[in-house]
Amino acid sequence: MWERGRPPRKPRPSPILVPPPPPSPPPRANLLPRSLLALAARAMPSRRPSPVLLLLLALALALLFLLLSPSSPSASRLSRSLASGSASASSPHAAAPPAPVKIYMYDLPTKFTYGVVRSYTAARAPSGSADAAAVLPDEQLRYPGHQHSAEWWLFKDLLRRGPRDRPVARVDDPRDADLFYVPFFSSLSLVVNPIRPPAAANASGVAAAYSDEAMQEELLEWLEPQPYWRRHSGRDHVFICQDPNALYKVIDRISNAVFLVSDFGRLRSDQASLVKDVILPYSHRINSFKGDIGVDGRPSLLFFMGNRYRKEGGKVRDALFQILENEEDVTIKHGAQSRESRRAATRGMHSSKFCLHPAGDTPSACRLFDALVSLCVPVIVSDYIELPFEDVIDYSNISIFVETSKAVLPGYLTSMLRRVSSERILEYQREIKKVKRFFEYEDPNGPVNEIWRQVSLKAPLIKLLTNRNKRLFERGTNRTDCSCICSTNPTEMTTDR
């Protein structure tokens, strides 16, 4: 210290001598206090420090030594705290999962849900017997075995209560909702009336009483006055129309909404798109293969069973029949839907290395998903097919794609498949097993959760478009609107916002 008004004294050399380093470094716990003591001594003035200052310094060093000691409980807690903080900062999975998208399911009149199931079973009641479904309560009804059963699985999933880890959460108040689900069984409604009505239906008129077109109109008569439909012209609503012809009569009136479909075969580009809508897998109709991967139990090279004559893109089937029906170790059969056909298809797919999937009336069909759950490598001859969940599934790892123009060349398809080694077939089967759950609706972690995840991804885009449309003026229609994603012109929107 120095007196006021006088220049400071030049510091004297420190009287403390630091000993030369020892041959081997001492333990860290003993080295730290000595180093701190030496630094403190250098920093101290040359006069002798007071005893009180030395006591305080000793206490501080003792406390520091105790905290940094490996056996100290405080040090362990501190280390754990720092380690967990560092791990949470560096781990890419440490962030909390996003909040689920809130979805409101309309409480439709039962004729649009359970009533469709009752109408379907009544139309097929055998002559002289009562319809068993007519006396069952709604919760005991079962959806008919059908490739379009996704509408049933999604409906029942939203009916279930309780906390679950999934990308959407059902809300009871529509004011809280991000999206609105319309649970009309549109695909089942389309086929309520059988192609060949039973005698009982003809006599009673039950089959003739049901009209799918009338149901579509009645659905829109119920929905269009709803305030949440009118608010954004249905843009935040979700319909499932898995059959290519489902909702065909009213499709233009609901084209703003999100469609859950299996392909775009019957939809125009101004009605549907990959950006706006979600591709679903068909429900498989044959039993899943329960065995392990392998080729020894699959003597057949290629299997196909289905209708030979189809319209539009399905004309390729007849060409493939002509090329393949005389090939050795290839099974290709014409067959319609029936229990016996499904049993034969199960045997054929479970015993074949490859399963053919040609286009039909539309680019996709349940046969593809029958093959996947059978561990039969799909050979896809459908140039315009759309596939479900392609953001998480690389179909080139589980399928073989062949251009239609090449597949119809004599000998091309079988020669290509015979060149695929057994090791490569096993690789395909391993990859199929990894993603097989995405095609089995009965799996609790299967396609239902994935469909809801895909739907939840549409919510930000819907919000963007609804906000954008609030400030748009009427625009001319003489040029392409590059921002249009199946959206209506502002003049078609209501002003009820």
Q: What is the pLDDT of residue 89?
A: 42
Backbone φ and ψ for 134, nearest 5 degrees, come out as -65, -25
Helix (H) or strand (E) holding 156, with range, is helix 150-159
Higher pLDDT residue, 429 or 29? Answer: 429
Strand partners, 105: 181
Confidence of residue 1 (pLDDT cuts 50, 70, 90): very low
Strand partners, 179: 103
Instruction: Give dist(CA 58, CA 66) in Å, integer.
Output: 12
Task: Please state, rounded to an integer, the average pLDDT across all residues of the chain.
Answer: 80
CA atoms within 13 A on the CB side of 42: 7
Q: Which amino acid is at 134?
A: A
Is residue 101 classed as helix, strand or coil in its secondary structure? strand
Q: Determine the distance from the C-alpha atom of residue 296 to the mean position of all C-alpha atoms in its chain, rounded to a whole number.
A: 34
The alpha-carbon radius of gyration of the chain (Å, integer) is 35
Q: Read off the pTM.
A: 0.75
Calculate ∠ Cα 260-365-113, nearest 5°.
Answer: 45
Q: What is the pLDDT of residue 181?
A: 98
Is residue 164 classed as helix, strand or coil in its secondary structure? coil
Q: Which residues contact 95 (CB under 8 A, 6 or more apart)?
A: none
Q: What is the pLDDT of residue 70?
A: 46
Instruction: Provide the pairing of β-strand 300-306 with 101-105.
Output: unpaired
All domains of the chain in start order, with CATH: 101-192+211-279 (no CATH), 300-439 (3.40.50.2000)
Instruction: Give dist(CA 401, CA 384) in Å, integer.
Output: 11
pLDDT tens track for 167-180: 999 999 999 999 99
Mean pLDDT computed over 312-326:
84
Is residue 334 classed as helix, strand or coil in its secondary structure? strand
CA proximity to 383, closest of 244, 265, 472, 274: 265
With beta carbons less than 8 A apart as the criterion, state whether 196 and 151 touch: no
Q: What is the pLDDT of residue 370?
A: 95
Helix axes 51-68, 73-90, angle to 10 degrees: 60
Instruction: Give dist(CA 380, CA 316) in Å, integer.
Output: 12
- Strands (DSSP E) contained in 132-264 are 168-170, 179-182, 237-240, 258-261
Instruction: Give dist(CA 142, CA 84) in Å, integer.
Output: 50
Q: What is the pLDDT of residue 248?
A: 95
Backbone φ and ψ for 374, nearest 5 degrees, come out as -95, 0
Please report, in angstroms and rounded to a whole number, the separation of the first and last CA atoms in the chain. 78
pLDDT tens track for 94-137: 556 678 999 999 999 999 999 999 999 988 877 656 666 677 88
DSSP 270: T
Residue with tokens 């608010």: 231
Q: What is the pLDDT of residue 30?
A: 45
Instruction: Give dist(CA 385, CA 368) in Å, integer.
Output: 11
Does 39 score more than 50 pLDDT?
A: no
Instruction: Give dist(CA 105, CA 394) in Å, integer.
Output: 32
Instruction: Give dist(CA 74, CA 279) in Å, integer.
Output: 56
